Amino acid sequence: MIEGKVHDVRFHRYDGPRNGRLAALWSMIRWSTLRALGAKRGWKAKVIPIALTLVAFFPALIVLGLRALFASSISDNLATVLPYSDYAGIVGLVILVFAVVVTPELLCPDRRDGTLALYFATAISRTDYVLGKVLAALLPLLLVTVLPPAILYAGNVLFATHPLGYVQEHTHDIPRIAAAGIAMALYFAFVGLAISSLTGRRAFAVGGYLAFLIVPTIVGGILSNNIEHGENLRLMAFAAVPIHTAEALYPVAPDSGDPSNTAWVLVWLGLIAVSALVLVWRFRGDEA
């Protein structure tokens, strides 16, 4: 050869500005959330989350739409047609499907494509990763759990004859809407992530998650009617746990007892705790 030149392509230190660990974490959370909702993916990946989100808003939009169309006389009655305490129960199935479709997308591809090791080679530690993914799972869920009743609230304020009076009368509903939404989001996020952490295949995480929610619900339903003191087996309705927990936050809803609201909340708490333990176990130090 004529003449040679060896280019220095060895590892270089990065000398530019550094944004630090929090920026790295935030970047991961942001992109995890957006990707789970279908960003930078084909239209098919976007359709289901977007459609489900819209459906979650339907009840609020229908009630508000009717109020907008009809005279204020009927309108006042309409204000009570859809109490905030019932919202979770009405769109519960939609939230469930949304959670089942969206949550596994946060963990499974990382494990399957080997991105996990790359993450841990950056400033993001295992703990950061898990906490970040929990946040990333919560954000889209809050979109369907908190926002629809919040919109309904805002609409009710607007259509009220005395908007300020409505707010004064219903101040306590604001924290309840938020708390109920967060309670549901926490449940679906933790349980979904725990199940997703067990497999790299998204499809099986989705199937497993749905099966986990639905099968015990059916089993508990049938058994509770047929065995001695079976009432408490209704608590196996894992699909209904977040709805009951959300409703427990509204004193308006009478405690149906058998099982009591407290029992539902305990199941809610227990499943979240177990899920958190599963996550800790799956992402413990020694292996990715």
Partner 1 sequence: MIVWPVYRLTLRALLLQRRTILLGLLAAAPVLMALVYAVAAKAGAHHFRFYSHLVQELFVPTIAAVVALVIGVSAIGDEREDGTIYYLVATPQSRLGLIATKIAAAWTATLVLLVPSLVISALLALEGEVDPSSILWPAAGVALATLAYCGVAAWLSLRTRRPIVIGVLYVLLWEGSIATFAASASKLSIAAYGRALVAERLPEAAAPVVGPAPAVVILAAVAAITCWLGARALARVEL
Judged by the rule CB under 8 A, the positions of this chain that interact with partner 1 are 44, 93, 97, 101, 202-204, 206-208, 210-211, 214-215, 218-219, 221-223, 225-230
Whose Cβ is closer to partner 1: residue 86's or residue 157's? 86
CB of 200 to partner 1, least distance (A): 12
Question: How far apart are alpha carbons 235 and 184 in whole angstroms?
Answer: 16
CA 130, 277, 188, 179 dihedral sign is negative
Whose Cβ is closer to partner 1: residue 210's or residue 269's? 210
| Six token digits for residue 78 | 């309409």
CB of 92 to partner 1, least distance (A): 11
Whose Cβ is closer to partner 1: residue 222's or residue 274's? 222
Tell me which amino acid residue 131 is: L
| Residue 123 neighbours by CB under 8 Å, 6+ apart | 20, 21, 24
Q: Is 53 left (phi over 0), alpha (psi -120 to 50) or beta?
A: alpha
Whose Cβ is closer to partner 1: residue 157's or residue 221's? 221
CB of 197 to partner 1, least distance (A): 15
Question: How far apart are alpha carbons 148 and 92 in whole angstroms?
Answer: 12
CB of 207 to partner 1, least distance (A): 5
| Six token digits for residue 217 | 């619900």
CB of 99 to partner 1, least distance (A): 13
User: Contact 64/75 with Cβ under 8 angstroms?
Assistant: no
**What does the angle CA 171 – CA 175 – CA 179 come to, to the nearest 5 degrees?**
155
Question: How far apart are alpha carbons 164 and 153 in whole angstroms?
Answer: 13
φ, ψ (nearest 5 deg) of residue 251: -65, -20
Whose Cβ is closer to partner 1: residue 199's or residue 261's? 199
CB of 205 to partner 1, least distance (A): 10
Whose Cβ is closer to partner 1: residue 75's or residue 217's? 217
